[in-house]
Structure 1
Amino acid sequence: MATIGKHRSQRPPVRYPAAQERARDKRLDTEQARKFLGVSPEVFDTEIRTRASLPEADDSYAYHDLVAVALDWGLPHSVPELGLRVMMRFADQSLDGMLAPTSWSFRLSLTEADTTGEGELVLRDPTSARMVLHGEYQRTDTGDGWLLPQDQPVVVEGTLETRGEDGGLLNPPLAQLYDQVIEAFHHDQVRFQWITPAGRDAYASTWSSGRADCVVIARMATDMLQQHGMKVRTQWGRVLGLLDAQHVWIDVLDSDHRWKRFDPLLQLHSERLWGTHDSRGGFFRGGTPNALPGWPGNTSMLVRRTAEDQQDLFPVFSARRVTV
């Protein structure tokens, strides 16, 4: 079980979600909260509820309040901390390993409930990887993916061909803006947390409150870069080799006319896990790993599309590295 070694006076206060976010959040009872954080009943009572001032209502706790404690207080056995380590497992290798051309096989299992609804069911093409499906599927009219059967269970299998790219940001204002985001975290002006949907919608206020996740960072950075006249595109990706590990970042058109990944959060995660001097952190300052392809826009690979809207369906998606 995790314990907390430092007294509250040696720790910065936890930055909890705003009250309006908490009101719509999932609730956990005391036993669920304690297990979620991976601490003993004694530590939960003396450290979490008392010293961390965990908000409580009717012997229950908001999910994102618990996440804030887990990340701000560095609980190594908590679900959020373990989730972070699992997500970054793809980067726990050499730079050559993150750059190598790689083939992945994937399987997408959809129930009748998944395939029933208004509009087209579309499996979209990734931005920087080659996707090939096994079987006969019709392309969309826009040519950006495949139409899947409606109103019936379907299993889609295929391959993804990826390769990494070692980049680096050349445009001085672009590099400076990236460093500004990093420095905001280094100086504890902003801390990484998972943010509620309401907090993501009000991303500027969330950032101002000193909290951010990948979505908030991507939206804030988009505003900053577009104010400087830079071309930006949002990417919604999946960590290959893991089940439904998702991430959002942006690409920026650099002065060499190449799209570069602008992903300070993965640098911060690398620093948190392996130290500030580890070379993997700087890789995400323009570099593209081979295990994290992105899909364009604010939705991922599978969408329900109508003439007015495009809805992300969050399918269960698994991929494994193909041995050549």
Structure 2
Amino acid sequence: MANSIEFIPPAYSSRVEPESVARDMLRAGRAEIDELVAAGLPYEERAGVRHFDVNDLYNLGMYSGASTTQPELAFRMLFRFAGRPVDDLLRPKTWDFRVTLECAGCDEDAAWKLEEPDVVRFGGGVAGLSPLTGGRGTAEYSAMVTTTGARTPLVSPVLRRLTRDYLDAGYRWQMIPVPMQADYELVHALGATSCIAASLFLAERFRVAGYRAEARRGWFCGVLGGALDLPHACVEVEDDDGATKTVDIAKAQLAARLSPDTGPFQELCLGSIYNKVIPSTASGNAAFGHHECGSPLPIQVRADIRSARGS
């Protein structure tokens, strides 16, 4: 199992999950955790308890081949939709969108900023908006956000070739800390990829080829009922027909990895938009939130996005 992934480098690793969490996630006993540690799984021992990086645990589970680990079961459930007819992804869909921002170490009231949903230019809408409010430590934002889909496949042979070259490069999708994802050269040097790393890399390749392109962040919706906040990014590029297209390269990779019958969805990811993604105003490696209090610690942004009743 340990040979199937690359572990998070020390500079980006956060080994805070106790061994009990590792056992639950991997459906493993102590002896099996011992074997993983002997094979190189990094850990830190505190008060006699081994602690691990949650990304390492997710990746071990994803590529274990056991079919019983929490990551395998979660991602299979997550991508069930990708094997179904894609028409349901093209209709308008409304989401109950709630975000909580937390500023650790904050000691004063100060202005907050959130990179908000950016759906209107893609045919969506925002209603019932409760603007970002808060003061010291925490802030909240909520709205009913409507997304929609449209088939707008890439028409440029150059863009399609560059996209296909990346898909064929053999990079292995892994859960990676957001700060590390911005260092896409390091991520790719490990043979791995992620949505932000892939989008930053591909946007650069598109620009080198003469196209206007930018990696943009957003939220992938309906993940385990809103309980899992996955960092998401894609590329927006101006195609030969003058239209802005969205290349969701990581979701195409994941769909191909997790289900054999996802061809139509993979094609949808190469230029089109679909209703399970809420784009934001944030660029590909930018933070979703900011607090003007002066704390050096990063803002924690937690999204709870659930399908609205009747949507």
Same fold (TM over 0.5): yes
For residues 92 and 78 of structure 1, what CA distance do their matches in structure 2 show? 21
Partner of 1:102: 93
For residues 109 and 55 of structure 1, what CA distance do their matches in structure 2 show? 31
Q: What is the identity, as a one-letter code, of the residue corresponding to 2:305?
A: S
Confirm whether residue 271 of structure 1 aligns to residue 256 of structure 2.
yes
Q: Is the 8 A contact 1:15 1:210 kept in 2?
A: no
For residues 261 and 86 of structure 1, what CA distance do their matches in structure 2 show? 24
Partner of 2:128: 133
Confirm whether residue 124 of structure 1 aligns to residue 125 of structure 2.
no
Query: Could you say what the CA RMSD is over the residues aligned between the two structures, in angstroms?
Result: 3.6
Q: Is the 8 A contact 2:182 2:285 kept in 1?
A: no
Offset, 1:265: 1.4
Aligned residue-pair number: 293
Q: Per-residue displacement from partner, 1:270-311 (whole Å, max 9, x unpaired)? A: 1222216643222211121112121132478963376xxxx8
Offset, 1:149: 3.6
Give the strand-richer structure, 1 or 2: 2
For structure 2, the residue ranges without an aligned partner over 5 or more in a row are 293-297
Secondary structure in 2 aligned to 1:167? coil
Partner of 2:7: 17
Offset, 1:45: 4.3
The alpha-carbon distance between structure 1 residues 109 and 293, as it changes in their structure 2 partners (threshold 3 A), is closer
For residues 27 and 150 of structure 1, what CA distance do their matches in structure 2 show? 28
Offset, 1:263: 1.6
Partner of 1:141: none
* Structural mapping, 1:66-105, within 5 Å: 66-89=57-80, 91=82, 93-105=84-96
Partner of 2:273: 288
For residues 100 and 7 of structure 2, what CA distance do their matches in structure 1 show? 35
For residues 292 and 83 of structure 1, what CA distance do their matches in structure 2 show? 18
For residues 25 and 220 of structure 1, what CA distance do their matches in structure 2 show? 25
The alpha-carbon distance between structure 1 residues 211 and 301, as it changes in their structure 2 partners (threshold 3 A), is closer
Kindly indicate whether structure 1 or structure 2 has the higher relative contact order, using CA contacts under 8 Å at least 6 residues apart.
2
For structure 1, the residue ranges without an aligned partner over 5 or more in a row are 136-145
* Structural mapping, 1:118-267, within 5 Å: 118-122=110-114, 124-127=116-119, 128=122, 129-134=124-129, 148-151=132-135, 156-185=141-170, 190-197=171-178, 199-241=180-222, 242-243=226-227, 244-267=229-252
For residues 65 and 29 of structure 2, what CA distance do their matches in structure 1 show? 15
The alpha-carbon distance between structure 1 residues 105 and 90, as it changes in their structure 2 partners (threshold 3 A), is farther
Q: Is the 8 A contact 1:237 1:300 kept in 2?
A: no
Partner of 1:143: none
Q: 2:41 aligns with which of 51, 54, 61?
A: 54
Partner of 1:317: 304
Partner of 1:303: 289
Offset, 1:36: 2.3
For residues 256 and 284 of structure 2, what CA distance do their matches in structure 1 show? 27
State which structure, 1 or 2, has the greater radius of gyration over its C-alpha atoms: 1
Q: Is the 8 A contact 1:295 1:301 kept in 2?
A: no
For residues 151 and 247 of structure 1, what CA distance do their matches in structure 2 show? 27
User: TM-score scaled by structure 2?
Assistant: 0.77
User: TM-score scaled by structure 1?
Assistant: 0.75
Identity %: 18
Deviates more, 1:195-204 or 1:159-168: 195-204
